Amino acid sequence: MSKVVALTGNEAAAEALRQINPDVIAAYPITPQTELMHKYAEFVANGKVDTEMILVESEHSAMSATIGASAAGARAMTATSSQGLALMWEVVNIAASLRLPIVMPVINRAISGPINIHCDHSDTMGCRDTGWIQLFSEDSQEVYDNCCMAVRIAEHPDVLTPVMVNFDGFIISHTMERLEILEDNEVKNFVGTYDPKYYLLNTKNPVSIGPLDLQDYYFEHRRSQEYGLQNSVKVISDVAKKYAVLSGRNYGFIEKFMMDDAEVAIICLGSTAGTVKSTVKKLREMGKKVGLIKIRVYRPFPNEELIEALKNVKAVAVFDRSYGFGNVGGPLFIEVRAGLFGAGISPKDILVSSYIYGLGGRDITERHIAGVYYDLFDNIKAGKVKKMQNYINLRGEDSPEIIYNVDTSLVSKS
Amino acid sequence: MSLKKWQDLIPGGYITEAGNSKNYETGSWRTFKPIFHAEKCIHCLFCWVYCPDDAVIVKDGKMQGFDYDHCKGCGICAYECPDKAKAIEMVLEHQN
């Protein structure tokens, strides 16, 4: 039985963590993650959980303590944002290479500088190649659901890979939303108990964890790390199926929204998908064949699902909420274009263009998104991508923006 | 020691076998090599005490020589060998 509650994204994550009841949480506060651990500390203080909470002196220590606890055999977690993730980057890599199934909510915030506390994805994108599984959440419901599923994905014996549950700072983390949560015992049974094969506190079968690994074995161990991510593809989908039985909510690697007959599409991550959906509905009422592909699983990257979803699309805009300095497009654009090329689809078959938006919490509205769809139709008419690198709502660049009125179908460029 | 394929490794590179560092021959790292002059040795065993790699071979309380499969050539043994003995000499690996 699920119950309906109103929670912010941070509270939704804290609620999921409470129900999971991990053995150890080591955390250091950073905006906008603070509220999550504030809430969790309250659960600890009120005896609602059995967790040993370690308040450390930095995020580097937070991840280090989490790794230590996990290696000792505990179910261990932490959470962070932005500079905190940057500071722990060194050990974030080690968590993955030691194959420790840590779950970490990452509340996405811009990386300094200039210093900024608001949402973008530059923090988590800096961890793309650390070997973690990266899930993105559109709203509080997905934050909650992804946290519950992340534990089972990470701890699966074929996977043993840590998972980041990403959600947009402030936009999701601090916005009160309606969501459905499961009963405590349902989550408890769903995640089960953590039963590691090797762990430091096993005195009967002692192991050494983290020894020096040189030219003769380092490469092989990195390759075996990749194997965990490859195996996670099946596990992520199996866990989603089991979770759907429990919750009634289905999760794929991507979510297709009105893609069946779409001529143009936007691909994006996180909360912006909600704004795009609302725009799509309005443009559909005007007869425009537009659609959205939201990517939920960014690592491992769902190339096959994406190519399948794009097969009838003529033009696509890839939204990046982070910069890819020194090349065209942000990280998601580069992934998508590489995926299309790898599938033998030429840039003439699908006109792909890059849209960088929302850095440092800059607003993106339906007017901007409608403008992007109009750009895509223009590209189809022109038979080519008129402008490859676009910026949304950035002064000094032509930003796509359409003022439209659904009732009268009046459309004008602003 | 035969090297394993990545498929045969324990995830995370954990070591489950106690004392397996003896299978890892670090002698090839050496630049300088200790040479033992038995006739000068007073068998104080300072070299054995200080060797960080357990590469000094001792039998019945007597220094016998070096385990060159594991000696990294750090020279601590030669440094610690008492002035009156100086039974250990460090030479360049390729000169010997």
- Domains along the sequence of chain B with CATH: 6-95 (3.30.70.20)
> B11–A99: do the CB atoms touch at under 8 Å?
yes
Which pLDDT tens digit goes with each residue over A145-184?
999 999 999 999 999 999 999 999 999 999 999 999 999 9
Q: What is the mean pLDDT of residues A211-240?
A: 96
* Separation in Å, CA of A227 to nearest CA in chain B: 9
Q: What integer pLDDT is reported at residue A407 of this predicted model? A: 58
* Separation in Å, CA of A402 to nearest CA in chain B: 52
Q: What is the rounded distance in angstroms from the CA atom of residue B35 to the CA atom of residue B25?
A: 19
Could you tell me which of A124, A34, A40, A30 has the C-alpha nearest to residue A84?
A: A30
Cross-chain CB nearest to B12 (options A209, A217, A219): A209
List residues bridging with A103 in a β-sheet. A77, A163
**DSSP 3-state percent helix, strand, coil across chain B (nearest 5):** 30, 20, 50
Residue predicted with more confidence, A4 or A401: A4
Q: Token pair for residue B16? A: 């489950």
| C-beta neighbour count of A109 within 10 angstroms | 31
CA atoms within 13 A on the CB side of B63: 26
Helix axis angle for A184-191 and A218-247, nearest 10°, is 150
Beta strands in A145-209 (DSSP E): 163-168, 177-181
Torsion sign over Cα A263, A264, A270, A272: negative
In a 10 Å sphere around its CB, with 0-12 CB exposed, 13-18 middle and 19+ buried, how is residue A82 labelled?
A: buried
| pLDDT at residue A271 greater than cutoff 70 | yes
Residue ranges, CATH 3.40.50.970, chain A:
3-247
Please report which helix (H) or strand (E) contains residue A267, including its range. Answer: strand A264-268
List residues bridging with A164 in a β-sheet. A104, A134
Q: What is the rounded distance in angstroms from the CA atom of residue A154 to the CA atom of residue A81?
A: 20
| C-beta neighbour count of A410 within 10 angstroms | 10
Strands A402-405 and A410-413: antiparallel
Question: What value does the mean pLDDT of chain A take?
Answer: 96
DSSP state of B5: P
Give the residue from chain B lying closest to A95, CA to CA. Answer: B12
Q: What integer pLDDT is reported at residue A207 of this predicted model? A: 95
| pLDDT at residue A347 greater than cutoff 90 | no
| pLDDT at residue A412 greater than cutoff 80 | no
> B14–A205: do the CB atoms touch at under 8 Å?
no
Give me the architecture of the A254-413 domain, per CATH. Answer: 3-Layer(aba) Sandwich (3.40)
Please report which helix (H) or strand (E) contains residue A379, including its range. Answer: helix A366-382
Give the residue from chain A lying closest to B6, CA to CA. Answer: A220
Given CB atoms, is B5 within the 8 Å cutoff of chain A? yes
Q: What integer pLDDT is reported at residue B22 of this predicted model? A: 86
| pLDDT at residue B93 greater than cutoff 70 | yes
Determine the residue among A93, A159, A208, A216 to mutate to test chain B binding: the one whose Cβ has the most chain B Cβ atoms within 10 Å.
A208
Please report which helix (H) or strand (E) contains residue A293, including its range. Answer: strand A290-295
ipTM given for this complex: 0.87
Q: What is the rounded distance in angstroms from the CA atom of residue A32 to the CA atom of residue A35?
A: 7
Could you tell me which of A177, A120, A392, A402 has the C-alpha nearest to residue A288?
A: A402
* Separation in Å, CA of A98 to nearest CA in chain B: 4
pLDDT band at residue A363 under the 50/70/90 scheme: very high
Given CB atoms, is B14 within the 8 Å cutoff of chain A? yes
> A217–B15: do the CB atoms touch at under 8 Å?
no
Q: What integer pLDDT is reported at residue A181 of this predicted model? A: 98
**DSSP 3-state percent helix, strand, coil across chain A (nearest 5):** 40, 20, 40
Q: What integer pLDDT is reported at residue A123 of this predicted model? A: 98
Cross-chain CB nearest to B14 (options A209, A223, A227): A209
Give the residue from chain B lying closest to A209, CA to CA. Answer: B14
Q: What integer pLDDT is reported at residue A354 of this predicted model? A: 98
- Dihedrals phi, psi of A8, to nearest 5 degrees: -75, 170
Could you tell me which of A89, A91, A84 has the C-alpha nearest to residue A58?
A: A84
From chain A, the residues in CB contact with B15 under 8 A are 207-209, 211
* Separation in Å, CA of B24 to nearest CA in chain A: 11
Which pLDDT tens digit goes with each residue over B26-63?
999 999 999 999 999 999 999 999 999 999 999 999 99
Q: What integer pLDDT is reported at residue A46 of this predicted model? A: 98
* Separation in Å, CA of B17 to nearest CA in chain A: 7
Q: Which fold is adopted by the domain A3-247?
A: Rossmann fold (3.40.50)
Q: What pTM value is reported for the model?
A: 0.92
pLDDT band at residue A410 under the 50/70/90 scheme: low
Which pLDDT tens digit goes with each residue over A273-320?
999 999 999 999 989 999 999 999 999 999 999 999 999 999 999 999
From chain B, the residues in CB contact with A208 under 8 A are 14-15
| Residues above pLDDT 90, as percent of chain A | 94
| pLDDT at residue A405 greater than cutoff 80 | no
Cross-chain CB nearest to B3 (options A100, A160, A216): A216
> A100–B12: do the CB atoms touch at under 8 Å?
yes
Q: Which amino acid type is present at position A410?
A: L
Q: What is the rounded distance in angstroms from the CA atom of residue A171 to the CA atom of residue A118?
A: 9
Residue ranges, CATH 3.40.50.920, chain A:
254-413
